[in-house]
Amino acid sequence: MNIVQRMKAPTPKFFRVLRNIGLVLAAAGGALLAAPIALPAAVITVAGYITVAGGVMTAVSQTAVDGEADNSTPNGSP
């Protein structure tokens, strides 16, 4: 299964919830980083980490596939 097929395959419910949480974290971190007011350096640092963690969580959750949906194997190999 290549990456395009994996991204199009159905995602289990747990990973859909995890993906949505990752999107919210990434959006919140991005909003803090783009805030028009001066924030303490610690808040900016934490916002950067939250943004990266949310992005990684979203990407990993999107590539998880339902085991029953993965019936095809490349080149007929087990």
Mean pLDDT by 10 residues, the chain (78 residues): 81 92 95 91 94 94 75 52
Supply the pLDDT for residue 48: 95
CA 34 from chain centre, in angstroms, equals 20
State residue 71's pLDDT score. 55
- How high is the pLDDT of residue 47? 94
- Which amino acid type is present at position 50? I
What phi, psi does 40 have (nearest 5°)?
A: -60, 155
Amino acid 65: pLDDT: 86
Q: Distance (Å, rounded) from C-alpha 39 to C-alpha 41?
A: 6
Distance, CA of 19 to chain centre: 5
The angle at the Cα of 31, spanning 11 to 58, to the nearest 5 degrees, equals 15
Q: Which pLDDT score, from 0 to 100, does residue 64 have?
A: 85
**Two structure tokens written together for 76:** 């007929």
